[in-house]
Chain A
Amino acid sequence: MKKNEEKTTRPSVTDKDSGMKRRSFVKLLGGGIFIFFQPWNVIDMLPVPQQQQRRTLTKDYNAFLHIAEDGTVTCYTGKIEMGQGIITGLAMMMADELNVPFEKVKMVMGDTELCPYDAGTWGSQSTQTFGPAMRAAAAEAKSVLLDMASAQLGVPASQLEVKNGTVIDSSNDRSVSYAQLAKGKKLEKYLEVKPAVEDYSKFTIVGTSHKRVDAIEKVTGKAKYTGDLKIPGMVFARILRPPSHGARMTSVDVSGAEKIEGVKVVRDGDFIAVICGNKDRVDEAIVKIKAEYDFKELPVNDKTVFDWMVNAQSRVSVAREGGDLDTGKKLSDKIFESEFHDPYVAHAAIETHTALAHLVDGTMNVWASTQSPFGLQDAIVNEIKMTRETVRVRTPFLGGGFGGKAAYQQGVEAASLAKLTGKPVMLVWTREEEFFYDTFHTANVIKVKSGIDKSGLITFWDYHVWFAGTRGSDIIYDVPNFKTTSYSENRSAFQVHPFGTGPWRAPNNNSNTFARETQIDIMASAAGIDPLEFRLKNLKDEKMIACLKSVADKFGYIPAKTPGKRGIGIACGHDAGTWVAQIAEVKVDTATGKVQVVRVACSQDMGLCVNPEGALIQMEGCISMALGYTFSEEVHFEGGNILDRGFDTYQIPKISWLPQIDCVILDRKDKPPKGGGEPAIIAVGAAVANAIHDATGARLYRTPMTPERVLEAIRKV
């Protein structure tokens, strides 16, 4: 298991709060048909970031589906929408299962009062694990509706069919709509057994492309994000921040801030904030506070971190092992040893962490940009001593998450200030705070030793990974002798990271795929075998073979040995149950070291693709976003001081970096749907590094591949 993951036990039967929720929910919504179901059997399996305590799950019915008296179907889910498009994709699945028009399905997301508990939205899990549970509930709802229609129409349910939300008895030419069935009813149904869900071949909505349901709101500026909310009497807040992680305040003088018109200083020990109804005033006031600090920082920076990690006292575990490494070495004609370095990387969503909190009649109402509304609810309960019944978290649209908003410190801070002041408090983290408190993708070191025999078959694979976990560390190739050793943080013995780390889109799979696919390329090149042929020769995984062949076809790949001065590189891997292969083409300016990616072709096997257009958008987004970790993104730091605190020095991909992108989604309608938000990001770094090698003969072992590093590598050729 990865460092930032943990698993918990099965649900406890003692937790009663969701029963209360169910009752208040039915009361709130009035009439219609309610379906309650338990998605635990699937969501209980999911990893949760370590810093977050998962609550004890309840055995009660926790997912809700409501068919209103006007025929509208509403699904209540604790998942959130951050741009990934599940507000559209999940609704499509519901519409298909219930045979209602897509427009009739509404999603209510991420509200702790109305929605069932959900640990958080991450890991590309919404479509592949939550989706099927929802579909099962929809199927149950449909069978309930059919029974009701059967009674009303006086014919057996088997004689009925549903089209566009209307139950039809075609033999007698009679029909009754869902709306008519739900009218004047207050029916609660509890789903005990998971019914068989609809056969994909009957789907009319899933598998066809649907436009985002939130697009019009978003292009007109009407879509509400947390920062757009306003409550009468609302004040803005800024919090006094230490200059570095590990700094402890020794003295403070707030008098300068108090002199600013309309500004109030709020203090609770070392927690010091300024509030004012005027945003400009709080920005002016916060810099007037003078504080002194003691520094107790870790003696590490962005240059020394890799040695620091390898020498750290860590927890060692063998993730997988087979055959015998010594036997493999004896069988080898050539042996290769490489060391790969990857830095801390920021999430850098354009919307910073934002929260609005207001304490009304003993209930803390919080709106927050977070991927984990229930995690935030629990954190508020614990940190400011409230009960779960008196904390309600809601999630308006998120302006990007990428894993960074699995953390929700801003929500706890806003709630604390709301409690301290009694006012509605809006807290919008500055860009500096966003970089300072980000839970970065962790820096890591990977060492690989591997060999090939005379025919180009891989003989052994000895893989050591420091602090990147094992997601994506699967060997994927058919290797007889292998061992994967993982070194993870043993915090009680040794603190490795000077600041927060956490999941970053396809957590650490980028790093593991970069190392593996570069090493494969090194061996292919040394064997004098075309890198595609080398991969196919060493693979038995049919899905990977199919992806590689399909991407070669899409790209128009012509086999050649590398380096061949063409600038073409290949990489593949899998993430979130989805298999992906990519070919990148680059142009390298050997005078400046600047690399332009001309083209990326990508082929993906994601099982049943629910919303093809939505999936393509995610693939394109992954590929474009990956250019950041590939070329420029690296958090510079000295001890606990984050040196990059803005987009001036921390550069994320710009529109001119964009290559031509050609994507293929393999037709796998007969297979369950898998994740789509992350997989295509994993292989870009390696494909580009291999393409740079093909163009120049220079090998890059370090991301990001800045012009300086590319030049340095070229000099070594």
Chain B
Amino acid sequence: MEETIRFKLNGKKTELRTDPSHTLIWVLRNELGLTGTKWGCGTGFCGACTVLIDDEPARSCSLPVSDIAGRKVTTIEGLEKKGKLHPVQKAFVEHEALQCGFCTPGMVLTSVSLLKKNPSPARQEIIEALEENLCRCTAHVRIIDAVMAAAKEMKGGK
């Protein structure tokens, strides 16, 4: 049974005709072509599929697409503005806070959400925010450093 679902996707009004019970990640990846959102476990444990719903991190592998009706969804593809990397993306590149890159979209989006709520997080607060995002290459040291650097840049270097 298809329904029309209206939501805001990466800043754009979007209307989608789909089965509302379908999983958000597969709708994003297969129907909307946004493959930056990665599938890692399907049970919400790894965080590779993280997207932001109304700026809060959510596990797109465990949500029906009907959940996003009327809401604002941001995927990794929505962070770049006019060809310019988001400060968090830039900091991940600068600090080489990635290896295989598979967990990276989830890490970046979770960090973006944290900095929105808490522009000056302490190291421990960054760790808490990213604790449930798994990274097997274990780029952990650099991920924390990157988020600290991005926070600094977003406040104009203060």
B38 within 8 A of A: yes
Instruction: Check B75 against A221 for contact (C-beta < 8 Å).
Output: yes
Residue of B nearest to A280 (CB): B22
Choice from B36, B98, B132, B141 contacting A620 with Cβ under 8 Å: B141
Instruction: Check B136 against A350 for contact (C-beta < 8 Å).
Output: yes
Given A227-B35, A655-B133, check contact A648 B138 (CB 8 Å). no
Q: How far is the CA of A483 from the CA of B29 in the complex (A)?
A: 57
Chain B neighbourhood of A399, CB < 8 A:
38, 40, 100-102
A526 within 8 A of B: no
Instruction: Check B93 against A225 for contact (C-beta < 8 Å).
Output: no
Given A219-B85, A431-B40, check contact A655 B130 (CB 8 Å). yes
Contact with B along A416-432 (1 / 0, CB 8 A): 00000000000010110
Residue among A211, A220, A278, A652 with the highest chain B CB neighbour number at 10 A: A220
Which residues from chain B sit less than 8 Å from chain A, CB to CB? 19, 21-23, 26, 29-30, 33-43, 45-46, 48, 75-77, 79-80, 85, 89, 92-94, 96, 98-105, 108, 127-128, 130-144
Chain B neighbourhood of A462, CB < 8 A:
none
Choice from B29, B42, B80, B140 contacting A220 with Cβ under 8 Å: B80
Contact with B along A617-659 (1 / 0, CB 8 A): 1001101110000000000000000000011100011111010
Instruction: Check B43 against A225 for contact (C-beta < 8 Å).
Output: no
Chain B neighbourhood of A402, CB < 8 A:
136
Q: How far is the CA of A278 from the CA of B26 in the complex (A)?
A: 8
Given A280-B23, A397-B101, A617-B139, check contact A224 B41 (CB 8 Å). no
Instruction: Check B77 against A656 for contact (C-beta < 8 Å).
Output: no
Instruction: Check A221 against B134 for contact (C-beta < 8 Å).
Output: no
Interface segment among A77-85, A177-185, A471-479, A511-519: the answer is A77-85
A317 to chain B, nearest CB (A): 34
Instruction: Check B101 against A223 for contact (C-beta < 8 Å).
Output: yes
A215 within 8 A of B: yes
Instruction: Check A350 against B99 for contact (C-beta < 8 Å).
Output: no
12 A-B pairs besides A223-B101, A431-B40 with CB distance below 8 A are: A83-B100, A230-B30, A230-B33, A279-B23, A280-B21, A400-B102, A614-B96, A646-B43, A647-B41, A647-B43, A654-B131, A656-B127
Chain A neighbourhood of B128, CB < 8 A:
656
Which residues from chain A sit less than 8 Å from chain B, CB to CB? 82-85, 211-212, 214-225, 227-228, 230, 278-280, 348-352, 397-402, 428, 430-431, 613-614, 617, 620-621, 623-625, 646-648, 652-656, 658, 661
A-B residue pairs, 8 tightest by C-beta = A221-B36, A83-B100, A399-B102, A218-B101, A624-B138, A83-B99, A221-B76, A228-B35
Instruction: Check B98 against A215 for contact (C-beta < 8 Å).
Output: yes
Given A221-B35, A431-B41, check contact A655 B104 (CB 8 Å). no
Instruction: Check A617 against B99 for contact (C-beta < 8 Å).
Output: yes
Chain B neighbourhood of A653, CB < 8 A:
138, 140
Chain B neighbourhood of A621, CB < 8 A:
99, 137-139
Instruction: Check A220 against B137 for contact (C-beta < 8 Å).
Output: no
Instruction: Check B96 against A280 for contact (C-beta < 8 Å).
Output: no
Chain A neighbourhood of B36, CB < 8 A:
220-222
Choice from A85, A351, A661 contacting B141 with Cβ under 8 Å: A661
A661 to chain B, nearest CB (A): 6
Q: How far is the CA of A623 from the CA of B137 in the complex (A)?
A: 10
Instruction: Check B96 against A350 for contact (C-beta < 8 Å).
Output: no
Q: How far is the CA of A218 from the CA of B30 in the complex (A)?
A: 19
Q: How far is the CA of A714 from the CA of B39 in the complex (A)?
A: 41
Q: How far is the CA of A624 from the CA of B142 in the complex (A)?
A: 12
Chain A neighbourhood of B22, CB < 8 A:
278, 280
Q: How far is the CA of A409 from the CA of B109 in the complex (A)?
A: 33
Choice from B96, B103, B127 contacting A215 with Cβ under 8 Å: B96
Instruction: Check A227 against B39 for contact (C-beta < 8 Å).
Output: yes
Chain B neighbourhood of A661, CB < 8 A:
141
Residue of B nearest to A430 (CB): B42
Q: How far is the CA of A218 from the CA of B97 in the complex (A)?
A: 10
A338 to chain B, nearest CB (A): 29
Instruction: Check B41 against A646 for contact (C-beta < 8 Å).
Output: yes
Residue of B nearest to A349 (CB): B136
Choice from B29, B42, B48, B100 contacting A82 with Cβ under 8 Å: B100
Q: How far is the CA of A430 from the CA of B39 in the complex (A)?
A: 9
B5 to chain A, nearest CB (A): 15
Chain A neighbourhood of B34, CB < 8 A:
221
Instruction: Check B85 against A280 for contact (C-beta < 8 Å).
Output: no
Q: How far is the CA of A278 from the CA of B138 in the complex (A)?
A: 33
A114 to chain B, nearest CB (A): 23
Q: How far is the CA of A198 from the CA of B6 in the complex (A)?
A: 62
Chain B neighbourhood of A350, CB < 8 A:
38, 40, 46, 48, 100, 102-103, 134-136
B117 to chain A, nearest CB (A): 18
| A to B CB contacts below 8 Å, 15 in the list | A219-B85, A221-B37, A221-B105, A278-B30, A350-B40, A350-B100, A397-B100, A400-B99, A400-B136, A430-B42, A647-B46, A652-B134, A655-B143, A656-B127, A658-B144
Q: How far is the CA of A85 from the CA of B98 in the complex (A)?
A: 10
Residue among B85, B96, B105 with the highest chain A CB neighbour number at 10 A: B96
Chain A neighbourhood of B42, CB < 8 A:
430-431
Q: How far is the CA of A562 from the CA of B42 in the complex (A)?
A: 47
Q: How far is the CA of A214 from the CA of B80 in the complex (A)?
A: 17
Instruction: Check A620 against B138 for contact (C-beta < 8 Å).
Output: yes
Q: How far is the CA of A613 from the CA of B34 in the complex (A)?
A: 31
Chain A neighbourhood of B130, CB < 8 A:
655
Residue of B nearest to A224 (CB): B35
Residue among A216, A217, A398, A428 with the highest chain B CB neighbour number at 10 A: A216
Chain B neighbourhood of A625, CB < 8 A:
136-138
Residue of A nearest to B78 (CB): A221
Given A212-B96, A228-B35, check contact A219 B89 (CB 8 Å). yes
Q: How far is the CA of A221 from the CA of B30 in the complex (A)?
A: 15
Chain A neighbourhood of B38, CB < 8 A:
225, 227, 350-351, 399
A84 to chain B, nearest CB (A): 7
Q: How far is the CA of A350 from the CA of B41 in the complex (A)?
A: 8
Given A279-B30, A617-B96, check contact A351 B35 (CB 8 Å). no
Residue of A nearest to B130 (CB): A655
